[in-house]
């Protein structure tokens, strides 16, 4: 599973060992190299590269122990892309600044956890197992030219990927389908 890991620059500078340890642990648990902003430490910040890496990832893990707008933007972007998100905050941080909207908003893709040095591995492992069950499945859909024209226009007009438009349309249909709801309830499907 490909993970994009983000923190504030201040967190990276203040806690380089914790930062490196978290990346190493995520790589061990996910079995893949983690994308993170220090991969490009010697380069100038490149918004397009970062967004490409985030879009290419299967999930986002954001440590907001030290608040910053950057991780907040990445969290919102990942949720917009329907990616599982784990927001971490070290329990030793007693600052009043916090993710107010994150703690209030319910979202099946969003997990907000306070962690410590002894439970971080369990927190990450639990998230990765949960996130793997929420990954998108790819399939080929053959559609008439008229629908493709609509999707091209709509994706440009709404600034969304065609796949997002199709996914949202199906989700709206699912929300109205009473037979599906009954099936989900009977089979305990999330």
- Report which DSSP code applies to 38: G
User: What's the CA gap between 151 and 157, in Å, rounded?
Assistant: 10
Q: Which residues, 6+ apart, have CB-to-CB distance to 162 below 8 Å? A: 151, 152, 154, 155
The answer to whether 58 and 3 have CB atoms below 8 angstroms apart is yes
What length does the chain have?
190
pLDDT tens track, the chain, 190 positions: 889 999 888 888 898 899 989 999 999 998 888 887 654 444 455 556 667 788 888 899 999 988 888 888 889 888 888 889 999 998 886 665 555 555 545 678 888 889 998 999 999 999 998 888 777 677 788 999 999 999 999 988 888 888 888 988 998 999 999 998 888 888 766 5
Tell me which residue of 136, 168, 125 sits closest to 56, measured CA to CA.
136
Q: Residue 115 has what pLDDT?
A: 92
The answer to whether 34 and 3 have CB atoms below 8 angstroms apart is yes
- The tokens 């220090």 sit on which residue? 38
User: What's the CA gap between 73 and 147, in Å, rounded?
Assistant: 32
Does the pTM exceed 0.85? no
Q: What's the N-to-C CA distance of the chain in angstroms?
A: 21
**CA–CA–CA angle 75, 78, 84 (5° rounding):** 95
Q: Which residues, 6+ apart, have CB-to-CB distance to 92 below 8 Å? A: 116
Token readout for 45 is 């910040």
3-state secondary structure of 140: coil
**16-30 helix and 120-132 helix, angle to the nearest 10 degrees:** 40
Token readout for 120 is 């971080």
């Amino acid at each position: 599973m490909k993970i994009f890991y983000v923190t504030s620059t201040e967190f990276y500078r203040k806690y380089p060992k914790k930062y490196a340890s978290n990346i190493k642990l995520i790589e061990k648990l996910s079995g893949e190299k983690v994308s993170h902003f220090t991969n490009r430490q010697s380069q100038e910040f490149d918004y397009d590269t970062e967004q490409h890496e985030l879009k290419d990832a299967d999930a986002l893990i954001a440590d907001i122990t030290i608040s910053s707008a950057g991780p907040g933007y990445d969290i919102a972007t990942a949720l917009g892309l329907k990616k599982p998100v784990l927001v971490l905050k070290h329990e030793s941080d007693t600052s009043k600044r916090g993710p107010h909207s994150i703690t209030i908003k319910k979202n099946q893709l969003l997990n907000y956890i306070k962690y410590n040095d002894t439970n971080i591995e369990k927190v990450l492992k639990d998230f990765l197992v949960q996130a793997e069950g929420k990954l998108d499945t790819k399939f080929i859909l053959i559609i008439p030219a008229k629908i493709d024209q609509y999707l091209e226009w709509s994706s440009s007009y709404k600034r969304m990927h065609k796949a997002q438009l199709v996914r949202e349309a199906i989700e709206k249909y699912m929300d109205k389908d009473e037979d599906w709801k009954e099936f989900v309830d009977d089979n305990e499907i999330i």
